[in-house]
Structure 1
Amino acid sequence: MNQVVAMKKEAASDAEKREQVRKQLEEQGIEFLLAQFIDIHGSPKVKQVPVGCFDDIVEAGAGFAGAAVWGMGQGPESHDLMARADLDTFCQLPWKDNVAIASCNIYVDGVPWPYCPRTNLIRMMDLFACEGYLLNGGFEPEHFLVEKGPDGTLRAWDPQGIDVLSKPCYDFKGMSQTMDYLQDIIRFGNQMGFGIYQSDHEDANGQYEINFGWTNALHTADRLVRFRMLAGQTAAKYGATATFLAKPFDDKTGSGAHLHFHVADARNQENLFPAGSEAENIKGLGLSETAIYYIGGLLKHIGALTAISSPIVNCYRRIQSGEFVYSSASGYTWTPSFASYGDNNRTQLYRCPDNNRVEDRSPSAMVNPYLFMAAHMAAGLDGIKNKIDPGEPIIGENVWNLSYDQRRERGMLLLPQNLLEAIEALEADEVVKSGLGPIADEYIKLKKSEWGEFMKHVTPWEVDRYLTML
């Protein structure tokens, strides 16, 4: 009887929420809705429907041909993907104010579809919650504003010709010509509920970063996808292209999507990362055993995680070993290539700026946040359950200045240096694959094919270096 009562209450709550959303759409003058989901790459896919079809996309969903979308586990003979809107995610588009967008979960024949990245993340969040945990976080997406010259070459968007410093990070002049763009991003993003609290000119010419507020894993993934949509539309207004390509220029730093995160108690939302006593502060960072073991799980599975955090060939231009070339125009790549953790030190893979959170500096700007957060929880939970010791933290040292042997002696593994190496690590890692469900096999197959396609192409560097060598 109690279960029946609970189900009736939930149905009443959903009905009430639906009417609240319907009223909000009317008050905002919404005429059209975008039912949006993402493919295996993290690329948003949409159907536009009139607002009169609100009930349709909430109940049955908008129909899509799954074989027309990357990595959805379907062929042309398969039944339709039905994208059902999440009532908590309806949001007016500030740059197109007669349109609202809703993040959707995919169903096939009325059953949640396990190849949907968002649906899979919800599955992992439920498993994480059953263990008593909730993952919270916020991304810091970096991106470039670029344009193509008359000869087709790519260059940083610099209409005034003033963004030319060799160390342009935080530069006023470089940022001044993009203030209107960045103000639009902040204004629009906060209208969409992102909680943006700062923006800046980043380490490369034409590169910018936005910092979000924190929320749970699902909604922070939603925010990153919507931010990319927002940036693309806003940049076009100014005659630029916003790109999240990890390394568009070989002589400039790459773009990451650093994740600040902590694990909370699923019941009361209490942050579990700060050490409750000096006895629990086992590594001298003010972090609890839960935090330390979570980091231990991440470090143990870093090879497989890199396949998710750096999902395309170009990402590995950003992850350099530091043994041969590690300098950018401003002096650093800012991308860890060795697996380490420690204090408030940006040469770490996992940086601890305070005892209430850890920064994961590995994700590329190209990351699919739904897959990454799911894999993150799988690896971290393995660490907590098996009490995986991450070793001693690096405190007060520049990891980039350590020799290869010194890094190895301290247990710092070199991150995969190309996509194939990372995918092979994922293929061998049952824990991280479990975080992806059946998406793992689809992802591995797709990325091996992507690597094969890449290897068929001859680069200008190869021609320049080897054409007349012999």
Structure 2
Amino acid sequence: MSRSAGVSLAERAAADGTTFVLATFVDLDGKPCAKLVPAAALDRAQADGVGFAGFAAGGTGQVPSDPDIIAMPDPDSYVALPTVRPGLAMVQCDPHVDGAPWPFAPRIILRRLRERLAGAGMSMQVGAECEYFLVRRGPDGTIVPADAEDAAAKPCYDARDLTRMYDHLTEVSAALNSLGWDNYANDHEDGNGQFEQNFGHADALTTADRVIAFRYLVRMTAERRGMIATFMPKPFTGLTGSGMHLHVSLWAGEQALFPDDSDPRGLGLSTLAYSFVGGVLSHVPALLALLTPTVNSFKRTGAPPPNSGATWTPSRATYGGNDRTHLIRVPDGDRVEIRVVDGAANPYLAIAGLIAAGLDGIDAGLDPGPVGGLAGPGRAAAVAAELPPTLLHAVEAFVADPVITGVLAAAGGAGVPAYYAARRRAEFLDWHSRVGSWETRRYLTAF
């Protein structure tokens, strides 16, 4: 169903024959939390919200004694998902507590960054390339590619591997097009069992909402066929990891602000676009706490070449033209592609972080330096040649960067950055404290 201003949630559901709606919000860790609301109760849900015990939901910034989170549905985010279940739809919600927007909510945070961008007379368009693996669990509990025949050393774009997953891919494609998302390509990626399905760009909040709905749709579609769809950044040591490359551009009304045909550097970018790039590069170490937010993420960045011969994941803070080894690729003057973002990223926080970093670059007039270089004048010169090697390093960079911590405090929650950093540190230390098979192989008889 297409969006129509002023149409209520109940009216949208009635037009689609929807009988139940997943009233959904996402916590700081990226977990989608929902209640199943009958169509007959949608007017009440839109007026009064949907209640959740926030501490039970996960990374919401609450303790057990806190008041309920009241999730207020945004009718404009409504999507019908009859291919998942007949009569099912999903709507994204803005969490509130005691009548006020909840500052720990990623969707609220992105709203505030969009307002900051609008205050500068600009808006952002974002396209997301979501990569994922289709896997099954083996008898010993380990995961393997769902298609046992998908075992070539260089499987990327293989027509045969693509065809064997035809039913899954075309069902997802048809669902995306029924939503008006313009699915324009579906391909086998560089890893065995890895796929990407592309849909059209939209404004920043809409694209973040769509990423959440897309992940849900893909997961449920795969489960019905006995498969697991995983957006885990690096599920296999020897295979390429999964990214969520974000294509971003800035606009003033209908005017695109990034293109400039007279660009002396040859990339077709304006001075403003170069300052945006300089801002992102200057904050990359801290941004990774938002763009690559898990322990596993850092087994994708800087990884040695996998079986196929190339990681396709940036390991240094560089930018350049149509070259997929850069952290920021410029495929044309209309947009820039942030390639370091991975499948675990919370889309609301990732996009909010890019807005803040880019605006900082524009405000400071930063220059990213020569094409392909590691740094330029001003603060961009402080960019490390290599990216933070672990989540813990990225968290420490995050804590030390007031521009990026300011992203999480943007909705008025002064304690949100520290809360987020503590959750990421705890994740790292939980992993670090566990003895694994690598250690027993290396140390059991080494001394």
Counterpart mapping for 1:239-250 below 5 A: 239-250=226-237
* 1:151 pairs with one of 140, 146, 170: 140
Contact 2:131 2:244 in 1 (8 A): yes
One-letter code aligned to 1:179: Y
Q: Are residues 233 and 411 of structure 1, via their aligned partners in 2, closer, same or farther at CA, if it must alter by over 3 Å?
A: closer
Aligned equivalents of 2:421, 2:15: Cα separation in 1: 46
* 1:41 pairs with one of 26, 29, 45: 29
Q: Give the corresponding residue for 1:454.
A: 431
1:120 aligns with 2:109: yes
1:332 aligns with 2:310: yes
Contact 1:282 1:288 in 2 (8 A): no
One-letter code aligned to 1:17: G
Alignment: residue pair count: 434
Q: Secondary structure at the match of 2:23?
A: strand
With the length of structure 2 as denominator, give the TM-score of the two structures: 0.94
Contact 1:245 1:255 in 2 (8 A): yes
Q: Give the corresponding residue for 1:174.
A: 161
Q: Give the corresponding residue for 1:356.
A: 334
Aligned equivalents of 1:112, 1:388: Cα separation in 2: 34
Contact 1:344 1:353 in 2 (8 A): yes
- The percent of aligned pairs where both chains have the same amino acid is 41
Which region of structure 1 is more displaced relative to structure 2, 64-73 or 76-85? 64-73
CA-based RMSD: 1.9
1:137 aligns with 2:114: no
Q: Secondary structure at the match of 1:17?
A: coil
One-letter code aligned to 1:37: F
* 2:55 pairs with one of 44, 67, 88: 67
Q: Secondary structure at the match of 2:281?
A: helix
Aligned equivalents of 2:60, 2:35: Cα separation in 1: 17
Contact 1:308 1:372 in 2 (8 A): yes
Aligned equivalents of 2:223, 2:383: Cα separation in 1: 46
Q: Are residues 16 and 203 of structure 1, via their aligned partners in 2, closer, same or farther at CA, if it must alter by over 3 Å?
A: closer
Contact 2:292 2:342 in 1 (8 A): yes
Aligned equivalents of 1:27, 1:336: Cα separation in 2: 45
Contact 1:117 1:371 in 2 (8 A): yes
Q: CA deviation at 1:284?
A: 2.6
Contact 2:90 2:213 in 1 (8 A): no
Q: CA deviation at 1:410?
A: 11
Q: Give the corresponding residue for 2:278.
A: 296
Which region of structure 1 is more displaced relative to structure 2, 449-458 or 25-34? 25-34
Q: Give the corresponding residue for 1:319.
A: 301
The superposition leaves residues 49-95 of structure 1 with CA deviations (integer Å, 9 ceiling, x where unpaired) of 21121122212100001111222111111111000110111221122
One-letter code aligned to 1:313: V
Q: Give the corresponding residue for 1:85.
A: 73
Structure 1 runs of 4+ off > 4 angstroms? Answer: 409-412
Q: Give the corresponding residue for 2:193.
A: 206
Q: CA deviation at 1:162?
A: 2.0
Aligned equivalents of 1:313, 1:45: Cα separation in 2: 22
Could you tell me which runs of 5 or more consecutive residues in structure 2 were left unpaired when the two chains were aligned.
Answer: 375-380
Q: Is the radius of gyration larger for structure 1 or structure 2?
A: 1
Contact 1:199 1:211 in 2 (8 A): yes
Aligned equivalents of 1:118, 1:59: Cα separation in 2: 19
Counterpart mapping for 1:344-423 below 5 A: 344-394=322-372, 413-423=385-395
Could you tell me which runs of 5 or more consecutive residues in structure 1 were left unpaired when the two chains were aligned.
Answer: 1-14, 400-408
Contact 1:38 1:45 in 2 (8 A): yes
Q: CA deviation at 1:282?
A: 4.6
Contact 1:162 1:173 in 2 (8 A): no
One-letter code aligned to 2:326: Q
Q: Give the corresponding residue for 1:9.
A: none
Contact 2:282 2:383 in 1 (8 A): no
Q: CA deviation at 1:333?
A: 0.5
Contact 1:137 1:216 in 2 (8 A): yes
1:102 aligns with 2:91: yes
Q: CA deviation at 1:411?
A: 6.4
Q: Give the corresponding residue for 2:180.
A: 193
Aligned equivalents of 1:153, 1:34: Cα separation in 2: 31
The superposition leaves residues 288-308 of structure 1 with CA deviations (integer Å, 9 ceiling, x where unpaired) of 011100000000000011111
Q: Give the corresponding residue for 1:273.
A: 258
